[in-house]
A = this chain, B = another copy of it.
Amino acid sequence: MELNEAREQLKRLQAKMSAFGHAMALIYYDGATTAPKGTAANRGQTLGILSEENYRLATGEDTVTLLEYLDTQKEALTETEARIVEVALKDIREMKKIPMEEYVAYEQLLVEADDVWHTAKETDDFELFRPLLEKIFDYQIKFASYCAPDKHPYDYCLDKYEDGLTMEKCDAFFAALRSRLVPLIQRIGAAEPLSDRCLYGDFDEGKQEAFARALMETMGIDMAHCGLGMTEHPFTTSLGSHHDVRITTNYQRDNFASSMFSVIHEGGHALYDMGSADELAYTLLDGGVSMGIHESQSRFYENLLGRSRSFISYIYPKIKECFPEEMASCTAEDVYRAVNVVTPSLIRTEADEVTYCLHVMVRYELEKRVISGELAVKDLPAEWNRLYKEYLGVDVPCDREGVLQDSHWSGGGIGYFPSYALGSAYGAQLLRRMKQEIDVEACLAEGNFAPINEWNRKHIWTFGCLKKPGVLLTEALGEEFDPYVYTDYLEKKYSELYGLA
């Protein structure tokens, strides 16, 4: 094989896989946003075929030959090419361990599961979803046994979302959080409660959408390359490359803050994806490198920036402009306090910053036990409810507001949840680092996201998947990861808010 021809072939292969990725992501996005209700089977048929084609392309003999040749020529490759070869070979070696029929059947199962989960959630019917969820867990266990027979299967799941993550690391991380959060939550519980009543009213969906677009613009999101849709569960997806990204939100008629923070959260994901260097477009290095780093960006924008006093003071007049009647008697400080009320609650996506990680821990415990074979899927609802009582002190009234609330499991995202907590903690340390160079509070007070975005672009976004997540994070931080930076941040912010001694 001739080197330059091989490099050309690599480029074409990457472009082809991006095209398949574009088609599959769009079919999923369509299903979640605008597709008619009865069309899931039709999408399943197409996704089954496209994922089979994609599998053949990614793991075919020609591809392996090409990559193995290029692997011997590393010195002659650019850094980007070398990393593509490295990541692709790793993926292939893993993918080839999964029989193609099972891979395709699993992809089709996820389409059906997504559809059934929606109905199950709507009708509060876990039993409807149970057989599909059992199959999803079974596939995960089976895939783990194929791909990482020496590992605990849940370590395989965790590693998929955060390179190198294990139950051991998670346990230590969550223990650190717990040691500081539980006392904080107790002290807050004993303090004078804050009110969030100014978030409630009757908020027209059209006006909420206009506000969502205004927020995206404020955040510096390039609206020519980022769309906004409406779905049951908000998410972000890239179509083909970072040149076309879509975020979604869900409008609650009685509470404008729900969509507001979903938009800022998904907007953070979008900024990260869209910030990849242009040369990475149409390669597998395009977009975010791990879910932990991804959540460090989304929860950075949502909480560290979005729920700060400086940002609320900036955005407050815009909120009033959009909802003049509902907000007539509220001050900026009212809104700041309202969006930071700490209350143990039922729904993760609406949880406050302080109790949020407890929601994640419930899911972590349950996934770990189901994957380990210690807990049956049929017992998930009861265990869910028991852990919510134990960790958060709340009674779960129905599965719809309990075990059926998240879309992750129906999408196969087992092992994903810890990324949310890790990302939150990464974000706090990134902010501390950023503040050594930038007056972040002053930027937020002026709605000027440009310097903040530039810092993130330079230290995080532009690299796409060029660096491993651990390296990327440590280099951006200039030091090792320390979960106590996050708990310090929470203690300081909420002590002031709740007037704790």
A223 within 8 A of partner (CB): yes
Chain A 19-59 per-residue mask, 1 if CB under 8 angstroms from chain B, else 0 = 10011001100100111111101110110011001000000
The reply to whether A46 and B34 form a contact with Cβ atoms under 8 Å apart is: no
A240 within 8 A of partner (CB): yes
**Contact (A243, B26) CB under 8 Å given A34-B34, A224-B37:** no
**A34 nearest CB neighbor, chain B only:** B227
Distance (Å) between the CB of A277 and the closest chain B CB?
16
Distance, CA A23 to CA B240, complexed state (A): 12
**Contact (A35, B244) CB under 8 Å given A22-B27, A46-B23:** yes
The reply to whether B45 and A240 form a contact with Cβ atoms under 8 Å apart is: yes
Closest CB pairs A-B (n = 8)? A38-B224, A23-B23, A19-B49, A39-B244, A22-B46, A42-B243, A19-B46, A42-B244
A15 within 8 A of partner (CB): yes
The reply to whether B45 and A222 form a contact with Cβ atoms under 8 Å apart is: no
Docked complex: A219-247 residues within 8 A CB-CB of B: 222-227, 229, 239-241, 243-244, 246
Distance (Å) between the CB of A145 and the closest chain B CB?
30
Distance (Å) between the CB of A244 and the closest chain B CB?
4
The reply to whether B241 and A36 form a contact with Cβ atoms under 8 Å apart is: no
Interface size range on A against B: 35 or more
The reply to whether B15 and A26 form a contact with Cβ atoms under 8 Å apart is: no
Distance (Å) between the CB of A434 and the closest chain B CB?
28
Question: When the two chains form the complex, which single residue of B30, B45, B223 contacts A282, counting CB atoms closer than 8 Å?
Answer: B45
The reply to whether B26 and A239 form a contact with Cβ atoms under 8 Å apart is: no
The reply to whether B42 and A239 form a contact with Cβ atoms under 8 Å apart is: yes
Docked complex: A341-366 residues within 8 A CB-CB of B: none
A309 within 8 A of partner (CB): no
A16 within 8 A of partner (CB): yes
Distance (Å) between the CB of A46 and the closest chain B CB?
4
**Given A18-B46, A26-B27, list of 19 further CB < 8 A pairs?**
A15-B45, A15-B49, A16-B49, A19-B45, A19-B53, A22-B42, A23-B26, A34-B34, A34-B227, A36-B223, A36-B226, A37-B223, A39-B225, A39-B239, A42-B241, A45-B241, A46-B239, A53-B53, A206-B206
List of B residues within 8 angstroms of A46 by Cβ: 18-19, 22-23, 239-240
Distance, CA A38 to CA B226, complexed state (A): 9
Distance, CA A482 to CA B60, complexed state (A): 57
The reply to whether B225 and A34 form a contact with Cβ atoms under 8 Å apart is: no
List of B residues within 8 angstroms of A246 by Cβ: 36
The reply to whether B35 and A227 form a contact with Cβ atoms under 8 Å apart is: yes
Distance (Å) between the CB of A362 and the closest chain B CB?
35
Distance, CA A239 to CA B37, complexed state (A): 14
13 pairs, CB–CB < 8 Å, chain A vs chain B:
A16-B49, A18-B46, A19-B53, A23-B50, A26-B27, A36-B226, A37-B223, A38-B224, A38-B225, A39-B225, A39-B244, A42-B240, A43-B240
